[in-house]
Structure 1
Amino acid sequence: MPVLRIDDEGFRLGDTPFRIISGGLHYFRVHPAQWADRLRKARLMGLNTVETYVPWNLHQPGPGRFRMDHDLDLPRFLGLAAAEGLHVLLRPGPYICAEWDGGGLPSWLLAEPDIRLRTTDARYLAAVDDYFGRVLPPLVPHLATNGGPVLAVQVENEYGAYGADAAYLGHLVDTLRGHGVDVPLFTSDQPADLARGGVPGVLATANFGSGPAAGLATLRGHQPDGPLMCAEFWIGWFDHWGGRHMARDAADAAGRLDELLATGASVNFYMFHGGTNFGFTNGANDAHTYHSTVTSYDYDAPLDEAGDPTEKFTAFREVIAKYAPVPADPVPARAAKLSVPGVELRRSAPLFGHLDALGTAVASDRPLTMERLGQAFGFVLYETVLPSAGPALVEVRDVRDRAQVFLDGQPVGVLSREGRESALAFTVPRPGAVLSLLVENQGRVNYGPGIHDRKGIAGPVLLDGAELTGWTSRPLPLTSLDALTFTATTAPPVGPAFHRGTVDLGEVADTFLAMDGWTKGNAWVNGFHLGRYWSRGPQRTLYVPAPVLRPGPNDITLLELHAAPHTPAVTLTPTPDLGPTED
């Protein structure tokens, strides 16, 4: 493919003037069997380029470990993009934000108690260098200079909103170049942060969702020559648990796009297709109050969570056609969906009855954080013995992020980081009663200084004002449910439990798992972790990609943290419910 060049007038592809018309499409938020479909639809909307982040925390789940296969086969994704005739903007981090757990920074970095992320801290830079030394060599053959689709590579991500460490950014540039990244580099920042996030000799781009004239004018004031580009044109937004579903009027977004393209600038939609925060991968925000991001990353994008065109797809396609060639193909039709009512989940496995099969308890004086336990995602069960009977006040100084509290296995309350609930009063029935705290990591903060977000219990636990010692910390990552033993039940068990049922399918298609009557937990289909559910909404259904289903019997498993409905059942519905758009 031709190589992208930057001159005083703008972009050139080879010797031809070129405008980047791109959209965000994160391979790690889409089932790999659906990558080709999403890329084809990007081309059909009129895009000539797609953009993707690269999540360090998935590719390198531990020091010395590295993955780039199956659902993380980025070279395959790049090859599919090239086969579709699409260019690629690559954003390898190390920090990506993306409403992704920890902004993509791996949790094991936080095992160092005083590490300073996104700085020249030697420990952090050593980890970054190791990561780049693993992730970049397989990608270099896919650079445009080597005949591949990757036109340009981003340096860090919105760094100007975080810090002003020019030496850190310079180190990243040198490292990228040292590993053979010889295509143009770029930074992306919100207009007010351009000076702090820029690097001399590297193209600056701006991120905004409205006011394109003002945003581009600020960019031109910062960078007098060269191409103008909005690297994140926000056309939707993400949702938090307990909030409303965020949506943006298609006509309004298309009108702002028209204004942007009329200036001659290049653009990357954020997002073209959002996808899903499968498993435990969602991030969180903490601007004085912690808010966890929901499982769906639909983002009110031109292509919805199931890959179907929305009103924005058609509206954007019409605008793009005013400025660039658009394929003559019709807008793709919505794909067929499955509908199966009343799938009963009559087999169960109590969580507390399977602890030894799910994780090994570690003894220590104080509770250990997830990072100290070498655990990235999931839950930790903390237990200690209370010395005496009678009224008691327990204070947990730093819950990250939600603790269900049990006394001899019976629930006595919930402590929540979001609700700033840190104390419970109860009566201890006997000396030697076991206090248990089941703590859920609801997603690491992905933006701002809060990215130093250790999980579990990160501070002391007090009993009537005195520190409780003598704990076990049991990691429950739930990476596999194979060791669970399910038994048929006539009444759902009390307390946290796994519930399983089977649905027979004659054919497979995308569908949505409706969680009516359930409170809070996680869902799996045939061992594939769909993500979290929570009755507080806004999201009420979970997307089930067709490739995780199969003709014949299919297992549906829920971990319900509170109480299952009297008739434990779920519905496969053809229609998503992401919640109300108004408060």
Structure 2
Amino acid sequence: MPSFTIQNASFTLDGQPYQLLSGAIHYFRVPRAYWDDRLSKARAMGLNTIETYVAWNLHEPRPGEFHFEDNLDVAAFIETAARHDLHVIFRPGPYICSEWDFGGLPAWLLKDPQMRVRCAYPPYLAAVDRFFAALLPKITPLQITHGGPILMVQIENEYGSYGDDKTYLAHLHDTLRANGVDVLLFTSDGERGKFLLSGTLEGIHATVNFASLPERAFASLRAFQPNGPLMCTEYWDGWFDHWGERHHTRTARETALVFEKMLKMGASVNLYMWHGGTNFGFMSGANVDDGQYLADVTSYDYDAPLSEAGDLTPKYLALRNVIGKYAPLSDLPLPEPAPKLALGPFFMTGGVTLWDALSTLSTPIPLPTPEPMEYLDQDYGFILYRTRVRGPQSGRLAILGLHDRAQIFLDGVPLGVLERNHPEKTLRLEIPPAGAQLDILVENMGRVNFGPHMLDRKGILGGVTLDNRFVFDWEAFPLPLTNLSALTFAPVPVPQTVPAFYRTTFKVDFLRDTFLALPGWTKGVAWVNGFNLGRYWKIGPQKTLYVPAPLLRAGENELVVFELHETRKLQAVFQSTPQL
């Protein structure tokens, strides 16, 4: 029987010392049509292993409703890796962090007002157990002990940065074993002793995550775990971006120098990310730093060795040169960048305001006071709260517990924006004698995926006040925007100044990757042929949205844009290079 074990200071594969040269690539961030291409490039770089997380929220979008088909066929992804002579490090969570909404946990957990995650809270454990019972039977036949490529399975993820519930970690260990996981189990944490102390289990191999100074990181690991192989499970070769920040990059030279230091030390390394991919749809996560909410951009390019569109970068070549000193490389020529598509500009030919589309997109839910979207069985997107305010009166409008961004309208006219990071901000309302309709459109910009603020319900959590008096008697209109096919578009003579959907068609002769640019637009979401590409926002740093060729059709294609504010010109461009 094949085996992957620990002997003294080494991993061993079938009894021989084995150094893991691994790269992170997440099947759920890469179109299935590109799995073969990306994995072949991993092997061509000299990697012998790939690592993937599992996105629980995609696999179980509703309690007990499981999806493992199409782009979520994780077993097929692992089998594809095996065909490219790659082993697999499997990280099933249930929490994955990864700049992914709620760290991969499903939003429906938050419908429980008492929910506690990543601990031994019984309803949470029951949900985890149900998910693992559905997932793991698809995976266990692919373990190396059964002739498959999976070498190792991780327990939780960087748990020492979150908490210290050893009962919870032991439960995950026992659940994995009870469901047939019989390969090596491990944990990964930050290098500091307090993280290792809290995030590990006795008898389970510990590894560390870091970006630089490997001597220090591995010394910390050795102080905690004197024996066993050294491993960096996440070598951060780039970084992620928040809206409103600069685009993070790391030089190929520095990345390669640190990488080679680790290989010289005999350590196993997983490049995080090797290929980042994309947070399509509403899957981007967020952080809270010094009390400020910071939402992640749509792209997960990460300045990784393989670009978001799957092209080789100077960093890929630099790391490949390092690997060539320690492992054999293929003699086959490396692939050239795939040709890209440039089209446009295209002018929007149809449009419909949110007000006119509302009855098509949503059914109102009467509420005495606004509630979070999770309490209304909504997971992502937007939610509109509407009420009728009696007049005449005036005062300051405040939102208690706004998550994350609200646009305020009085009788359909925009009054301003309130944001989570400025809870002290209010807007003055002047209500006429006949009264007025008050609309509050709240955007869920991504749930926090790291740290102590993960119980991040979306919408209005605490109510709405006018001059410190609560406003009651509301309707809520959930707007997950999962299907826009019923929208009816009218000709658009001029841009709107209220939230609106815009549509156009464009023809494609050759199916190639491209990047959607929306110059002059403000903030919103874009769809190509019904597929949600993700969020755009003029504040950047990201200025284009990746459009993989498999989303396109030969002939006529459709572009729909939901603009929250206004655009200076009703046009879009598909360009051959990204602006990240």
Q: Is this a same-fold pair by TM over 0.5?
A: yes
Deviates more, 1:160-169 or 1:347-356: 347-356
Aligned partners of 2:37, 2:433: CA distance in 1, in Å? 61
Tell me the equivalent position of 2:526.
523
Q: In the alignment, which of 228, 239, 242 is matched to residue 240 of structure 1? A: 242
Structure 2 counterparts to residues 280-291 of structure 1, below 5 A:
280-287=282-289, 288-291=291-294
Q: Indicate yes or no: 2:428 matched with 1:425.
A: yes
Pick aligned residue for 1:255 from 254, 257, 261: 257
Tell me if 1:360 matches 2:324.
no
**Contact 1:345-1:499 within 8 A present in 2 as well:** yes
Residue 197 of structure 2: aligned partner: 195
CA distance in 2, matches of 1:518, 1:405: 19
**Does 2:150 correspond to 1:155?**
no
What's 1:54 paired with? 54
Displaced runs of 4 or more, over 6 A:
none
Give the match for residue 569 of structure 1: 571
Indicate yes or no: 2:77 matched with 1:73.
no
Report the equivalent of 1:8.
Answer: 8
Match of 1:226 among 214, 225, 228: 228
Matched, 1:464 2:437: no
Aligned twin of 2:506: 503
Conserved? CA contact 1:350–1:497, under 8 Å: yes
Deviation at 1:420, TM superposition (A): 3.8
Q: Is the 8 A contact 1:99 1:282 kept in 2?
A: yes
AA in 1 matched with 2:262: L
Out of 302, 311, 316, the position equivalent to 2:319 is 316
Query: Retained in 2: the 8 A contact 1:370–1:376?
Result: yes
- Aligned pairs for 1:60-459 within 5 A: 60-192=60-192, 193-287=195-289, 288-420=291-423, 422-459=425-462
Q: Deviations over 1:4-33 (max 9, x none)?
A: 111213101112110100000001111111
Structure 1 residue identity aligned to 2:30: V
**Identity score, percent:** 52
Q: Is this contact kept in 2: 1:415–1:421, CA < 8 A?
A: no
SS in structure 2 opposite 1:317?
helix
Give, in angstroms, the shift of residue 61 of structure 1: 0.6
2:3–2:15 Cα contact (<8 Å) kept: no
Instruction: Quote how far apart the aligned CAs of 1:341 are.
Output: 2.4
Match in the other structure for 1:538: 541
CA deviation string 1:45-64 (max 9, x = no partner): 11100000001111111111
Which amino acid is 2:227 matched to? Answer: D
Partner-residue secondary structure (3-state), 2:453: helix
Is the partner of 1:521 in helix, strand or coil? strand
Secondary structure at the counterpart of residue 174 of structure 1: helix
Q: Tell me, yes or no, if the aligned pair for 2:367 and 2:473 is still in contact at 8 Å.
A: yes
Deviations 1:336-394 (A, max 9, x none): 00011211112112111111211111111111211101111000000111011242211
Larger displacement relative to structure 2 (321-330 or 191-200)? 321-330
For the 8 Å contact 2:60–2:66, the answer to whether it is kept is yes
Looking at structure 1, the residues matched to 9 and 107 of structure 2 have their Cα atoms a distance apart, in angstroms, of 43
Q: How many residues align?
A: 577
User: Given that residues 370 and 474 in structure 2 are in contact (C-alpha distance below 8 angstroms), is that contact kept between their aligned partners in structure 1?
Assistant: yes
In the aligned structure 2, how far is the partner of 1:27 from the partner of 1:419?
A: 37
Return the alpha-carbon distance in structure 2 between the equivalents of residues 437 and 272 of structure 1. Answer: 41
What amino acid maps onto 1:270 in structure 2? Answer: Y
Aligned-pair CA distance for 1:268: 0.2
- Return the offset for 1:250: 0.8
Q: Is residue 279–residue 531 contact of structure 1 (8 Å, CA) maintained in 2? A: yes
Give me the CA root mean square deviation: 1.0
Offset, 1:73: 0.8
Query: Is residue 482 of structure 2 the alignment partner of residue 479 of structure 1?
Result: yes
Name the TM-score, length of structure 1 as normaliser: 0.98
Q: Is the 8 Å Cα contact of residues 387 and 438 (structure 2) preserved in structure 1?
A: yes
SS at match of 2:331: coil
Gaps of 5+ in 2: none
Of residues 356-365 and 541-550 in structure 1, the stretch that sits farther from structure 2 once superposed is 356-365
Equivalent residues of 1:359, 1:476 under 8 A apart: yes
Q: Which digits, 9 at most, give the CA deviation of each residue in 1:224-265, with x for residues without a partner?
A: 111110000000000000000000011001000011110000
In structure 1, what is the equivalent of residue 24 of structure 2?
Answer: 24
Once residues 172 and 119 of structure 2 are traced to their aligned partners in structure 1, the CA distance between those partners, rounded to angstroms, is: 11
**CA drift at 1:118:** 0.6
- Asked if 2 retains the 8 angstrom alpha-carbon contact of 1:94 and 1:104, the reply is yes
1:581 matched residue in structure 2? none
SS in 2 for 1:139: helix
Report Cα offsets for 1:460-488 as digits up to 9, x if no partner. 21111111110111110000101100112
Deviates more, 1:382-391 or 1:550-559: 382-391
Q: Deviations over 1:412-438 (max 9, x none)?
A: 010111344541113123433111000
Instruction: Determine if contact 1:398/1:422 at 8 Å carries over to the other structure.
Output: no
Q: Does the Cα contact within 8 Å between 2:368 and 2:474 map onto a contact in 1?
A: yes
Instruction: Provide Cα deviations, 1:553-575, integer angstroms capped at 9, x if missing partner.
Output: 1111100000122x311111001
Deviation at 1:329, TM superposition (A): 2.1
- TM-score normalised by structure 2 residue count: 0.98
CA distance in structure 2 between the partners assigned to 1:432 and 1:415 by the alignment: 22
Amino acid at match of 2:179: H
Aligned equivalents of 2:9, 2:287: Cα separation in 1: 39
> Contact 1:158–1:197 (CA<8 Å) still a contact in 2?
yes
Cα offset, 1:177, TM superposition: 0.2
